[in-house]
C-alpha cells in the first residue's frame, strides 16, 4: 500500500510530458463479486486527486478533500475543497446531498441538490443536476475490487447526454466526484487516485507512488496517447494480453485485436468517449479514453 503522501505526488517531468495530451483517461479495476456492507462517501480522510487539463492545455493536479463542518439550514455539511471553494456535502440514508458555493451557486440557486443516490436499482433513473433534462438509467449493478482487497458496489448507466457512465460506492463518479454539478466541459479531467487517511485505494495510484506488490501490479494496464490524433499506446504486461476491444458510448464495437498489441488506432473515429476492454489471464480491465482533437 502507498506510504505517507507519496501517492499524491507526481514528478515535474511527468506533468511536462503530459502538456500536449488531448485525452481524458480514467482506470477502472476488473469487475468482481458484490460487496456486502455499505461504505459512505462523506467520511473524514477521504481524498480525490484529480488531473485537470485547462482550456490552454495546461496540466495540474487538484486534490479534493473534506475541510471541516458547516451548518446549513439546520443540517450539518462537510465542506469540500481545496480551500472550501466548491461546496459542502452531507450523507443520509445512502444519499449524498451537495450545497454549492462560489461560482456554482448561480447554477442551483443555493439549493441542495442530490449528488448521489446509492439506493438505486437496475431500471431506476437519476436526474443529473447540471442537466435536469437528462434521466440517466441504471442498466447494471456489479462491483469492483479496491487496492486493499475490499469491494465496492458499482452502478452502470445507459449512454446519456451528460456522459454519466458509472458510480462506485464511497468514491462516486470514477472520472470526477463532482461531475454531475461541475463537469468541466471546457477541459479534461480524470481521477488519478482516491484514498482514505493516506492509503491509496482506487485509480491509477500504481503509476504515482510506492505500492505493495501483492495487490496485483502485474495485471494493471494504462493507455497513453502518441503524438498523433487518435493513436494510443497500451502499457502493462502486453505479452499477457488475450484481446483488446474498443466500444463507443452507444455500445458499438469499433476496434478489436486478438493477442498482444501495444498500438491502438482510433484515428478514424471522431472526438468522444471510448471504452477499451483489455482481457488478460481471462480477467477484464476497462479503461476509459476521451479523444479531443485540437
228, three cell numbers: 498523433
Start-end of CATH 2.60.40.3080 domains in the chain: 221-294
CA distance 191 to 203: 7
Across the range 21-25, mean pLDDT stands at 33
How far lies 205's CA from each of 90, 198, 249, in Å? 27, 12, 26
46, three cell numbers: 477521504
Tell me, what's the pLDDT at 23? 33
CA distance 287 to 213: 21
How far lies 3's CA from each of 7, 48, 159, in Å? 7, 16, 38
At which residue does the C-alpha cell 479495476 appear? 29
CATH class of 221-294: mainly beta
Alpha helices, DSSP H, located in the chain: 12-17, 105-108, 205-208
Pairing of the two strands 151-157 and 166-168: antiparallel
Across the range 177-189, mean pLDDT stands at 73
At which residue does the C-alpha cell 491509496 appear? 200
- Confidence band of 253 (pLDDT split at 50, 70, 90): confident
Tell me, what's the pLDDT at 131? 85
Across the range 127-147, mean pLDDT stands at 91
Across the range 254-268, mean pLDDT stands at 88
By C-alpha distance, which of 264, 199, 257 is closest to 7?
199
User: 157 and 126 in contact (C-beta within 8 Å)?
Assistant: yes
* 24 has pLDDT over 50: no
Tell me, what's the pLDDT at 12? 32
Per residue in 211-239, pLDDT tens? 222 223 334 677 777 767 778 888 888 88
Angle at 193 between CA 32 and CA 98, to 5 degrees: 90
80, three cell numbers: 469540500
CA distance 287 to 50: 16
Tell me, what's the pLDDT at 117? 98
Across the range 146-155, mean pLDDT stands at 92
User: 207 and 221 in contact (C-beta within 8 Å)?
Assistant: no
Angle at 251 between CA 187 and CA 33, to 5 degrees: 90
Amino acid at each position: 500500500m502507498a506510504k505517507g503522501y507519496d501517492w499524491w505526488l507526481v514528478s515535474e517531468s511527468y506533468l511536462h510530458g503530459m502538456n500536449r495530451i488531448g485525452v481524458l483517461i480514467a482506470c477502472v479495476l476488473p469487475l468482481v463479486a458484490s460487496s456486502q456492507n455499505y461504505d459512505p462517501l462523506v467520511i473524514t480522510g477521504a481524498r480525490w486527486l484529480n488531473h485537470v487539463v485547462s482550456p490552454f492545455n495546461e496540466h495540474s493536479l487538484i486534490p479534493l478533500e473534506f475541510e471541516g463542518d458547516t451548518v446549513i439550514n439546520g443540517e450539518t455539511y462537510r465542506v469540500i475543497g481545496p480551500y472550501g471553494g466548491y461546496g459542502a456535502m452531507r450523507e443520509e440514508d445512502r444519499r449524498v446531498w451537495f450545497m454549492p458555493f462560489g461560482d456554482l451557486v448561480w447554477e442551483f440557486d443555493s439549493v441542495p441538490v442530490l449528488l448521489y443516490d446509492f439506493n438505486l436499482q437496475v431500471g431506476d433513473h437519476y436526474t443529473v443536476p447540471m442537466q435536469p433534462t437528462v434521466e440517466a438509467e441504471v442498466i447494471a449493478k456489479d462491483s469492483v475490487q479496491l487496492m486493499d482487497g475490499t469491494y465496492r458496489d458499482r452502478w452502470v448507466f445507459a449512454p446519456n447526454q451528460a456522459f454519466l457512465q458509472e458510480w462506485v460506492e464511497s468514491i462516486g463518479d470514477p472520472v470526477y466526484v463532482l461531475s454531475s454539478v461541475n463537469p468541466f466541459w471546457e477541459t479534461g479531467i480524470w481521477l488519478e487516485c482516491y484514498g482514505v487517511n493516506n492509503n491509496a485505494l482506487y485509480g491509477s495510484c500504481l503509476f504515482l507512488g510506492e505500492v505493495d506488490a501483492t495487490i496485483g501490479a502485474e495485471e494493471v494496464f494504462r493507455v497513453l496517447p502518441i503524438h498523433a490524433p487518435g493513436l494510443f499506446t497500451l502499457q502493462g504486461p502486453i505479452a499477457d494480453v488475450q484481446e483488446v476491444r474498443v466500444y463507443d458510448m452507444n455500445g458499438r464495437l469499433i476496434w478489436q485485436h486478438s493477442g498482444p498489441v501495444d498500438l491502438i488506432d482510433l484515428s478514424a473515429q471522431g472526438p468522444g468517449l471510448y471504452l477499451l476492454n483489455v482481457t488478460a489471464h481471462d480477467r477484464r480491465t476497462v479503461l476509459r479514453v476521451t479523444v479531443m482533437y485540437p
